[in-house]
Amino acid sequence: MLCSRVGTRPLRTAHTASQAIAAANKLATWAAAVAPNQVWGGDITCLALATGQWAYLACWRKAFSRRVVGWHVSKSLHTDLILTAFNRAVALCQPPPGLLVHADRGRQYTSDAFTALLDRTQAAARLSRLGNPYDKALAESGRSTLKPEFLARGACFADLEEARLELAEYLDHYYNTQRLHAALGACTPLEIDLHYPFNLP
């Protein structure tokens, strides 16, 4: 499968720190997140396989930095898809009590299993309101980046294993650590996370 990466990494400047601070202030109005582990957004994306079947990618992102902190891909839309991704995010970030989890009203996110997992994590769900597209901004932002940058038009994965390998390369090694975001002051998601609370010289 061909993986297209839009653009190249621009030359970094000495303004990175100030850009990150400005981005943090701007993000205060985006999904109500003013710190890295206040709000996470969850979404599920369909990916085509060469066999004619579908694979499903579940992602959890920090609203503050847009960093993908947990993901899982499967041929099944069973609730385990989002549970596995969420558990990986919790293991990585160790969020404090009070994490707000934003997702749509799909059956996976309203399931007893996911509700129980949130309780154990001391997190709370904030589900999208019916008929309100603005509530899905976090998920839509992630999908609008993934599909045009990662998948060429009509491209598909040979099988689930190839999907996992390609997604690991894109999400973990490119999107989080190399891709610059205009909304983040031309920083990467990882940089915003690492520089918080922006007490830089």
Which stretches of the chain are assigned E, i.e. beta strand? 39-48, 54-62, 68-74, 100-103, 124-127
* Domains of the chain with CATH codes: 16-193 (3.30.420.10)
Per-residue tokens: 105: 């009203």
- Give 128-172 pLDDT, tens digit per residue: 655 555 455 555 665 667 777 777 666 789 999 999 999 999 999
Share of the chain above pLDDT 70, in %: 72
CB atoms near residue 10 (< 10 Å): 8
Note whether 26 and 187 are within 8 A (CB).
no
Q: What is the pLDDT of residue 4?
A: 35
Is the alpha carbon torsion for 182, 184, 186, 190 positive or negative? negative
Contact (CB, 8 A) for 70 and 89: yes
| Average confidence (pLDDT) over 10-34 | 47
pTM, rounded to two decimals: 0.79
